Amino acid sequence: MRSLLTLLIACLLSPAAMAGTIYKCVENGKTSYADQPCGKNPVALALRVAPAAPGEAAERLARSKAYLAGVEAERAEEEQRAARAARAAKQAQRDALVERKRCDKLRLQTKWAEEDSRRAGRSEADRERIKARRQAEALAVECPA
């Protein structure tokens, strides 16, 4: 904001800075004007920049203020967008962690069900195999690949 204000002030003062010094030279009865000394007797002319009309200056200032307000609004909007994107990224990261934990839990339960089916006696073997198969199917549905 400070640099923009400095630039604005420099632009407003630039016509005075550009005026510089003008030299009037008279050679062989001819008068010429230049920005550098010429001939034997150059006369430096002090130029004054005409002040801007009050209405024109006020209009220019109003345009500058409107432009500055627009730039500030765009900056604030961009900051809000960046903050929303950062929050969304953090939420996505948390969601992915929860999903990974859930899938790890299902894989572990499937492993345990398979171990139980292998250890089961003859009378319980069919029931444990069905339980292990169902657990594997649930894992495949919930956590593909």
Rounded Cα–Cα distance for residues 93 and 86 (Å): 11
Would you state the pLDDT for residue 9? 59
* Least confident piece of the model among 68-72, 105-109, 119-123, 139-143: 119-123
The predicted structure's pLDDT at residue 88: 96
pLDDT tier for residue 69 given thresholds of 50, 70 and 90 = very high
Nearest to 131 by CA among 111, 113, 104: 113
- For the ranges 51-60, 78-87, 96-105, the one whose mean pLDDT is highest: 78-87
Which range is most confident: 31-35, 40-44, 82-86, 115-119? Answer: 82-86
Nearest of 48, 51, 50, 52 to residue 21 by alpha carbon:
48
Q: Hey, how many other C-beta atoms are within 10 angstroms of the C-beta on 106? A: 18
**What is the rounded CA–CA span in Å between residue 36 and residue 22?**
7
The residue ranking higher by pLDDT, 44 or 119, is 119
Could you tell me the pTM of the whole model?
0.45
